[in-house]
């Protein structure tokens, strides 16, 4: 082999290797999320040790994706019992309970978590949502205000505050919050919808007497 050929081969070889490396990383990135989590869950657990909080949580997420709510709840409860300081599990558990209409249990889950992490805005917001579903608007407002105080730039928490305020009949305050996060016209449109919702609750239409 001549000298120029050797040098060309020497340059081409690393190029090919690099190409192979890049393809590999792209292939691994293209795997499905659930599959990746499952692999991660498997690889994280040594055979002789109990599963970590992250493993249990990943497992619960996979089960939730598959629609296996009962199994998912079982894993989340185990996660909460074994790792009481692992907050995401409480949120997922409460979300599942809310989805099934078990609002009271969701409130219990979130209240327990808030005792451990009182300054978690997501927990506060989710608890506010539970209160809103139970039409306990003043309690909902208190939780949304806590969340907005912790993350003042969050439009979501201010919007939730606006909803609770409107349903309490405090329309002016509700509109002021909506105007902070929405263009004027959209803020007024949303405020009007909320006002109508309040009116419907405050003055329910009287059903006509049976004939």
Partner 1 sequence: MRTPGVVAICLLCGLMSGCEEEARTAADRRFDSEVVRTVNNIGVENAIITQHTLYPYHFDVDGERLNELGQRDFAVLARHFTEHPGLLNIRQDERISPELYKARVALVTRRLREAGIDPARMSLSDAMPGGTGVRSEQVVMILRKNADLSAKPSSGRTITQ
Binding stretches for partner 1 (CB under 8 A): 4, 7-8, 11-12, 14-15, 18-19, 21-22, 25-26, 29, 138, 141-142, 145-146, 148-150, 152-155, 158, 161, 165, 170, 172-173, 176-177, 179-181
Q: What are phi and psi of 144, to 5 degrees?
A: -65, -35
Comparing CB distances to partner 1, the nearer of 45 and 181 is 181
Task: Name the minimum Å distance from CB 47 to partner 1.
Answer: 31
| C-beta closer to partner 1: residue 172 or 185 | 172
Least distance CB 125 / partner 1 (angstroms): 13
Q: Cβ closer to partner 1: 112 or 171?
A: 171
- Which tokens is 114 given? 């808030």
CA–CA gap between residue 151 and residue 122 (Å, rounded): 10
For partner 1, give the closer residue by CB, 62 or 129: 129
* Backbone angles phi and psi of 39, in degrees to 5: -65, -45
CB of 106 to partner 1, least distance (A): 24
Provide the minimum distance between the beta carbon of 122 and partner 1 in the complex, in angstroms, as a whole number.
15
């Amino acid at each position: 082999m001549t000298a120029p050929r050797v040098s060309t081969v020497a340059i081409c070889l690393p190029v090919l290797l690099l190409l192979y490396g890049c393809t590999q990383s792209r292939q691994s990135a293209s795997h499905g999320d659930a599959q990746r989590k499952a692999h991660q869950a498997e690889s994280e657990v040594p055979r002789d040790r109990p599963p970590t909080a992250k493993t249990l949580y990943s497992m619960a997420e996979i089960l939730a994706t598959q629609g296996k709510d009962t199994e998912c709840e079982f894993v989340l409860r185990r996660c909460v019992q074994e790792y009481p300081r692992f907050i995401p599990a409480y949120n997922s558990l409460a979300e599942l309970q809310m989805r099934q209409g078990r609002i009271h249990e969701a409130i219990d889950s979130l209240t327990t978590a808030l005792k451990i992490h009182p300054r978690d805005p997501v927990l506060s917001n989710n608890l506010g949502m539970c209160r809103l579903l139970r039409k306990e608007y003043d309690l909902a407002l208190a939780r949304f205000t806590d969340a907005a105080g912790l993350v003042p730039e969050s439009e979501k928490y201010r919007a939730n505050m606006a909803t609770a305020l409107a349903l309490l009949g405090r329309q002016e305050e509700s509109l002021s919050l909506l105007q902070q996060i929405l263009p004027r016209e959209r803020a007024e449109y949303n405020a009007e919808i909320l006002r109508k919702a309040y009116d419907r609750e405050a003055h329910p239409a009287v059903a006509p007497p049976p004939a």
